[in-house]
Structure 1
Amino acid sequence: MTALAEVERVRSGKPERRLVWLLGPAFVASIAYVDPGNVAANLSAGARYKYLLVWVLVVANAMAVVVQYLSAKLGLVTGRSLPEILGDRMPRTGRLLYWAQAELVAAATDLAEVIGGAIALQILFHIPLLLGGLIVGLVSMGLLAIQSRGGQRRFEFVVMGLLVIITIGFVGGLVVSPVSWGEAAAGLVPRFQGSETVLLAAGMLGATVMPHAIYLHSSLARDRHGVSRDPVRIRRLLHANRWDVGLALVVAGSVNIAMLLLAAAALPGVSGTDTIEGAHAAIQNALGPVVGVIFGVGLLASGLASTSVGCYAGASIMSGLLHVRIPMLARRAFTLIPALVILGVGVNPTWALVLSQVFLSIGIPFALVPLIWFTSRSALMGQFVNRIPMRIVAVVVVLAIVVLNLLLLYLTLTGQD
């Protein structure tokens, strides 16, 4: 089926016969939850405190399910993405300022992904970081070309394939790791062990939801399924969306938990796991070179997939807020420059990842608050407006994420550990 035929089919309002055909957008958005920026934090938590903070990742994933579901719901019900709705309701100056912060968030995200992919190439093939960053950028152009020419469905298949590789890369080590499943189950009970674990948990929770994934998911759902005013079809799409988000984030959450379990079983007390390179070296020393290579391949797939999705998100933000469309490949070439400059001048990659997290922390309220506001407005959502229980849950989730991101930002800027 051609891309044009698919668009005509979804716009015709004819429901697809199989639920599985409706899945996909959430798997693309879920790449944000298994990007290189999450690797060191999860491994460090497991190495330092073993299974104590398993519950943090479970809670974080539950929050992500709520947020990503509402983002896709907004796109499906209104036929508009979150950036488009914001752009329609803001004066020109407001749109420009809002776009500037959202663009910085997307750029910061992309910076982390390119650096993570470059580190993976250095780990696997001893390629210099600058050359590795360039290779990651060029490969991501190829992935984006699939979306531009082959349509979103084909791009979803490619990203889902990379997600499989990521899963194998980060979960594979569990096969040879002596995981204590009894202790892991005990780690599901919320508790702390001193102030240091409170700060680490704040960092893990506060960095969970990525702003660019919120902006993008509303676009992905709308672009994939088209615009429909038929309540029956919308209800079916929302049902499929619940499955899509649930399955995608179960996979992403399982990958993150697997990283923590791997570190808890094989790396307790090992120093240096607060950086990606150090974590890889520790895993290789503890579990052997094969597991080290598998981990490196997973990290590379993570960098390639997440930087492509991040560039896609940036294009969605720009077109929605500024009503300006730039060819995806041209945008990829332009946004690659900051990462290459940082890699070229020899900036510490881990420090660059920390700096990118600061920008993400600043941007998260700008995405979350409007999302909850719009999905709770009956004038916009009609019969699909958030019910009171969902509003309460959403507000609690947003407040928790915003507070934790502010705490993370404060700790980062003040240098507290």
Structure 2
Amino acid sequence: MQHPDQSFLAGFATSRGEAPLAEVNRSVRVSGSVWKRFLAFVGPGYMVAVGYMDPGNWATSLAGGSKFGYTLLTVALVSNLMAIVLQSLAARLAVATGRDLAQACRDAWPRWVSMPLWVLAEIAIIATDIAEVIGTAIGLNLLFGVPLELGVIITALDVFIILWLQRRGFRKLEAFVITLLGVIAASFAIQIALADPDWGAVILGFAPTVEIVKNPEMLYLALGILGATVMPHNLYLHSAIVQTRAWGETLPEKRQALKFATIDSTVALMFALLVNASILILAAASFHSTGQTNVSDLGEAHRIIGPLLGATIAPSLFAIALLACGLNSTVTATLAGQAVMEGFLRIRLAPWIRRLITRGLAILPAAGVTLLYGSEGMGELLILTQVVLSLQLPFAVVPLVLFTADRAKMGPLRAPLWLVALAIVIAVVIIALNLKLLWDFAATV
């Protein structure tokens, strides 16, 4: 059997080294009929989709929906389409080269390039983790009355949940994540039914408008939604966990693996779009339409959603979905952090050590803001973390596009020209929007 490195090794400066997430690499069998082989690939896409509906998304979608109604639905749609394209490239890189994105950066470029990329990737993961800490702490507070300060500390214990799940096998981990996604979807389906939104306005909200670029406040929230949707760590994560599948090394087997992995991620991300759009629609129908135009705090949203919808179950459903999002995001952020550290540095830490380091760095700012500013400050910090993620995006997207467009690295699985062109347009749009945000910020200083 041919080693993945041997096909297109000339495109990289060094050999791959150890496989990404080596303890689960190629651990899921792919065999049997075409249908069974396809089902074997179902899972990684939903792990990735978790990052597209984490607590950070809630803050930006609530703020956008309450302040501007259904207008920013178009941003959620475009962001999700961008995500589908970029995640398909991440899967393509993994299948073609046997590398995840972090390994590809390390192997292709000198340390003075790869090390700053590693630092930026870690910043993105910490920003993601801050959102998860805040979301989980608020969920615990809303459901069980746990003080926010204590909830922030309790989130450090989720490492034991992850360790227990990992030891039971990767498919069990995926089943846990998909189950919680079902809980989230059911919670929002009931809340949307109670909110009874204006569906004509919802449809119009998906239409593009130049007002988003002209209005600095709207652009800030739009970039927050973009950062909360197309997340840098998901590109590293997807290119690693796709390789938990034991596909063959022949070109037809790789083409089939790429096809199945792309279908998996595309369907999962469309599901994520439904959840994200539901949050924004719920905010627009419940808050904006009743004059509550400044709701970005999750606790405030929980407090007023019951009276507005006229149903006592609504706050509980809101809190359950939020807690499920926080727990789910914890699993995927841990795996992403492990892949990034191993890929860039070739350093393997025990998952619990890696998790506690990352969570510790996230708890400090979250706890500080909670003590100083309470739940309102936590809501603002959530939105800020998503803007930080948006600013980090080009440093993951540009390398991904460069690698997947390079025939020396990708061989016959090089991305077709139309896909490369589309990915370049996406990268240019992301960079342009970030520059516009920085320009607006500098103009206000």
With normalisation by structure 1, the TM-score equals 0.91
1:276 maps to which residue?
Answer: 298
Letter in 2 for 1:59: V
Letter in 1 for 2:188: F
Q: Do structure 1's residue 350 and structure 2's residue 372 form an aligned pair? A: no
Q: CA deviation at 1:330?
A: 1.5
Q: Do structure 1's residue 32 and structure 2's residue 37 form an aligned pair? A: no
Q: Is residue 119–residue 277 contact of structure 1 (8 Å, CA) maintained in 2?
A: yes
Q: CA deviation at 1:240?
A: 0.8
2:340 maps to which residue?
Answer: 317
Q: Is residue 66–residue 294 contact of structure 2 (8 Å, CA) maintained in 1?
A: no
Cα 1:88–1:364 change in 2 (3 A) is same
Q: Is residue 297–residue 380 contact of structure 2 (8 Å, CA) maintained in 1?
A: no
Q: CA deviation at 1:155?
A: 1.0
1:191 maps to which residue?
Answer: 209
Q: Do structure 1's residue 154 and structure 2's residue 175 form an aligned pair? A: no
Aligned length in residues: 411
**Cα distance between partner residues in 1 of 2:305 and 2:266:** 30
Q: CA deviation at 1:167?
A: 1.8
Q: CA deviation at 1:67?
A: 0.7
Q: CA deviation at 1:343?
A: 4.1
Cα 1:92–1:263 change in 2 (3 A) is closer
**Cα distance between partner residues in 2 of 1:60 and 1:4:** 30
**Cα distance between partner residues in 2 of 1:381 and 1:54:** 36
Q: Is residue 358–residue 412 contact of structure 1 (8 Å, CA) maintained in 2?
A: no
**Cα distance between partner residues in 1 of 2:28 and 2:261:** 20
Letter in 1 for 2:304: A
Q: CA deviation at 1:198?
A: 4.7
Unaligned 5+ runs, structure 1: none
Q: CA deviation at 1:45?
A: 2.1
Cα 1:119–1:231 change in 2 (3 A) is same
Q: CA deviation at 1:202?
A: 4.0
- The aligned runs of 1:77-226 (5 Å cut-off) are 77-147=96-166, 149-191=167-209, 195=215, 196-222=217-243, 224-226=244-246
Cα 1:184–1:344 change in 2 (3 A) is closer
Q: Is residue 50–residue 263 contact of structure 1 (8 Å, CA) maintained in 2?
A: yes
**Cα distance between partner residues in 2 of 1:25 and 1:19:** 12
Cα 1:390–1:94 change in 2 (3 A) is closer
1:404 maps to which residue?
Answer: 433
Letter in 1 for 2:57: N
Q: Is residue 174–residue 258 contact of structure 1 (8 Å, CA) maintained in 2?
A: yes
- The aligned runs of 1:6-21 (5 Å cut-off) are 7=27, 9-10=29-30, 17-21=36-40
Q: CA deviation at 1:131?
A: 1.8
Q: Do structure 1's residue 369 and structure 2's residue 398 form an aligned pair? A: yes
**Cα distance between partner residues in 2 of 1:174 and 1:354:** 23
**Cα distance between partner residues in 2 of 1:114 and 1:260:** 22
The equivalent position to 1:242 in structure 2, one of 214, 238, 262, is 262
2:407 maps to which residue?
Answer: 378
Q: CA deviation at 1:228?
A: 3.6
Q: 3-state SS of the aligned residue for 2:196?
A: coil
Cα 1:414–1:26 change in 2 (3 A) is farther
Q: Is residue 54–residue 187 contact of structure 1 (8 Å, CA) maintained in 2?
A: yes
Q: CA deviation at 1:19?
A: 1.7
Letter in 1 for 2:103: E
Q: 3-state SS of the aligned residue for 1:381?
A: helix
Higher alpha-carbon deviation: 176-185 or 346-355: 346-355
Cα 1:14–1:384 change in 2 (3 A) is farther
Q: Is residue 124–residue 296 contact of structure 1 (8 Å, CA) maintained in 2?
A: yes
Q: CA deviation at 1:311?
A: 1.6
2:355 maps to which residue?
Answer: 332
Q: 3-state SS of the aligned residue for 2:109?
A: coil
Q: Do structure 1's residue 307 and structure 2's residue 340 form an aligned pair? A: no
Letter in 2 for 1:308: V
Q: Is residue 171–residue 259 contact of structure 1 (8 Å, CA) maintained in 2?
A: no
Q: CA deviation at 1:128?
A: 1.4
Q: Is residue 318–residue 325 contact of structure 1 (8 Å, CA) maintained in 2?
A: yes
Q: Is residue 101–residue 239 contact of structure 2 (8 Å, CA) maintained in 1?
A: yes
- Cα RMSD between the aligned structures? 2.6
Please give the per-residue CA displacement for 1:94-137, whole angstroms capped at 9, x wherever unaligned: 44333222112211211111111101111222211232123233
Higher alpha-carbon deviation: 41-50 or 300-309: 41-50
The equivalent position to 2:277 in structure 1, one of 257, 260, 263, is 257
Please give the per-residue CA displacement for 1:347-366, whole angstroms capped at 9, x wherever unaligned: 43234324423432332111
2:41 maps to which residue?
Answer: 22
The equivalent position to 1:395 in structure 2, one of 424, 434, 437, is 424
Please give the per-residue CA displacement for 1:263-295, whole angstroms capped at 9, x wherever unaligned: 222222204412222222232231233111101
> Once the two structures are aligned, what percentage of the paired residues are identical?
36
**Cα distance between partner residues in 1 of 2:218 and 2:66:** 12
With normalisation by structure 2, the TM-score equals 0.85
Unaligned 5+ runs, structure 2: 1-22
Cα 1:127–1:414 change in 2 (3 A) is farther
Q: Is residue 159–residue 352 contact of structure 2 (8 Å, CA) maintained in 1?
A: no
**Cα distance between partner residues in 1 of 2:441 and 2:351:** 33
Cα 1:318–1:410 change in 2 (3 A) is farther
